[in-house]
A and B are shown apart, each in its own frame.
Chain A
């Protein structure tokens, strides 16, 4: 516990020092990144201990803020999220230390390191806070720190707009949370989490508030619109932390609320399943249609949050139906997918960042052939892509398999409703899985295979050594969780116990069963790898005594092929995006080809966010028009502003005393 507070202290202190020495890029980077690494090394010790089932430790200190207390506790659930934070963040920091130095001399690196370290500290504080005021304060610090990180390249207008959208979205989310905690606190007349009582008549309202508030941070449909904007505007290591870790803090809030709100009614589970499914499908379909690598990854984050919430939904349905197997496995799958997504999405963002850093573009159609020029980045990226597509033997498969396993267990449950929910979960998850595989085949194929589509892609080279090391570390994490899946799943018992509130031996029994089945999967994966290696050696042996010719890729039978004849990102995904025209409403610009010898023509496609354009823009326009009529209140005459204050004070006094 104290180690954790020391870690948070180191993070804040190193951030302050980094901002103080910001004039020297190297010192700021050393302080900032060094602080994160040291803090993570210290903080991971109590976190792992808590995950493995150490007795929860807490500290409660008085605080002069009304209803506030510095009340922190590390239980298994907090510990699990701390492990995610302290695994991905230091790696992103190391990667960022090389990445940010490209701004050396142009921009002070003090502020980005300060806010980066404060962001990590606040995330750690959010997951251990056990008092409403402390929680909300840490939550707001987290939102503001990430806002300043998103707007790092603030000389770009698009980045400023993205920051603005993010700021509005995150504060709207916090507004829901404020009401949530006020209602909880009113009922319990205290804002300490351990005093909160489950009140059946209000629980549903509280649950909806939690879904809206925490869902906004997590990027759940329909609150996801800030995500593609903010993630594509932020520097890549920040995107990795935001997408890999920060949005999971929203999920943490949701799980924590579920533990507080008492036994859930069935419709909570259906709501979560429905929200998860729609997020997942919406996210992956829009990811398919994107041309900008980081926007694509951001939509993929929406999809993964959908999968996580789907797992939670299946778990809640299981809890309600009295099916501990389904509940345990659903929650375990969601939790494991949180860790997995942090690893592979972090890796993918860092990989895309390396590509953008090296080529200067994130446009899919400007890239190509990078595997030969950036072999290490490419290798790490392919690991991430396979993992996110949930293909064995990597970690992505394990998490989704647990959710499938939970859902299949639920089919046999009595009651038609449970079966409907879990069957739709199975179908949706299968659809999402297929589309993700297609999407990341597209990304990897367009970016790393084929021939370079532009001069900048031709000149690409491997990034700095530390950047490569950071990506390989995350890739190793993906492989590790995949290969040691039985151990990892078995280690989740205390976490799932806290999240579901089920007795420990039941949780251990169900997870042990899953763990035993996973052993077969690891054995099969090992066999697969062994066979592949064997085939590789066989191929080398067969070819060793023959002439091996080299021919251009993407030849397509033409005598003089050019890189422009390759598939573009839109043409690759066109068969799939055609199926989802009702959702995507892709805009095509350009003319069709006419005649036998057509004139040169151009085609551009764009898939703007359906909800952002169709729902939020009209809504905010309407709000803006409505509020324009009261704009005269703000006229700039300071003494009339004072008049407002004076009148308010007087009215309050007269009202209260009269």
Chain B
């Protein structure tokens, strides 16, 4: 019950993210997703929440729900960019494609052979959808900040997959992944900050000169 509700909220928030242009709102949605993940972690083990589950859920909420959003809104303030200007795919189209992706995810998940039945029939499609939505955002949005958010969404999808399918992943592994994500976001936040200071914009479209081959 709790699990399904959280998963539905997660899918909806991803859809909402696809249709949002204000960056501060995007950050808030991703923060909400972080809190949802914490809830999901607890909900999966609702019968006997061990100390380690509680600790881990709190760590996720603290990092993904509070830490990253705080860091990113700071970058947002510094860079004085408020809206995603001129995305490569418009918001309405994005949401339409998002719905299509959701359908594709359900189709795929029905065919994916799994070693053990998942906790809920929603786990796999939502995990797929969140991952693909993250990828979609990375591809279509231009502001470097949105790309960091999109990366977080993608990672959230992977996490859902893991927590819903594999029961009792060693804590060390989970913490290790969390630490990885933390470092990644931290580095990206700093990088955006410096890119902004150097070039007065965070538009990734204009960073093409970094390719190997120049004509």
Interface residues of A (CB under 8 A from B): 631, 634-640, 642-643, 645-646, 649-650, 653-654, 657-658
Contact = CB atoms under 8 A, between A and B. Distances in A.
B204 interface: yes
Contact of A636 (B88, B111, B142, B210): B210
Contacts of B210: 636
Contacts of A640: 139
Interface of B: 88, 104, 108, 111-112, 132, 135-136, 138-142, 147, 204-205, 207-213, 215
Given A657-B111, A657-B112, A658-B111, A635 B139 contact: no
B213 A639 contact: no
Nearest to B146: A639
B208 A642 contact: no
A657 B108 contact: yes
Given A653-B108, A657-B108, A657-B112, A636 B211 contact: yes
Given A636-B210, A637-B204, A637-B208, A646 B108 contact: no
Contacts, number: 45
A654 B108 contact: yes
Contacts of A645: 135
B142 to A, nearest CB: 8
User: From DSSP, what is the main secondary structure of chain B's interface residues?
Assistant: helix
20 contacts: A631-B213, A631-B215, A635-B211, A636-B207, A636-B208, A636-B211, A637-B204, A639-B88, A639-B138, A639-B139, A642-B138, A642-B139, A643-B139, A646-B132, A649-B135, A654-B104, A654-B108, A657-B111, A657-B112, A658-B111
B111 A635 contact: no
Nearest to B147: A639
A639 B140 contact: yes
Contacts of A635: 208, 211
A637 B104 CA distance: 27
Contacts of A631: 213, 215
Given A634-B211, A634-B213, A637-B208, 13 more contacts: A636-B208, A636-B209, A636-B211, A637-B204, A637-B205, A638-B204, A639-B140, A639-B141, A639-B147, A646-B139, A654-B104, A654-B108, A657-B112
A640 B212 CA distance: 15
A642 B207 CA distance: 15
Nearest to A628: B215
B188 to A, nearest CB: 12
Contacts of B111: 657-658
Contacts of B140: 639
User: From DSSP, what is the main secondary structure of chain A's interface residues?
Assistant: helix
Nearest to B109: A657
A658 B215 CA distance: 41
A645 B132 CA distance: 11
Nearest to A657: B111
A653 B140 CA distance: 21
A638 B215 CA distance: 17
Nearest to A642: B138
- Of the candidates B104, B136, B138, B212, the one having the most CB atoms from chain A within 10 angstroms of its own CB is B138
A650 to B, nearest CB: 8
A634 B214 CA distance: 9
A642 B108 CA distance: 21
Nearest to B128: A653
A634 B139 contact: no
- Of the candidates A636, A640, A653, the one having the most CB atoms from chain B within 10 angstroms of its own CB is A636
A639 B142 CA distance: 8
Nearest to B138: A642
A636 B135 CA distance: 18
A637 B209 CA distance: 9
A646 B135 contact: yes
A219 to B, nearest CB: 30
Which 3 pairs across A and B sit closest by C-beta, in order of nearness? A636-B208, A636-B211, A657-B111
B155 to A, nearest CB: 14
Contact of A638 (B104, B132, B136, B207): B207
Contacts of B212: 634
Contacts of A654: 104, 108
B128 to A, nearest CB: 9
Nearest to A649: B135
B135 to A, nearest CB: 4
Contacts of B138: 639, 642
B183 to A, nearest CB: 19
A639 B136 CA distance: 9
A653 B135 CA distance: 15
Contacts of B139: 639-640, 642-643, 646
A522 B50 CA distance: 85
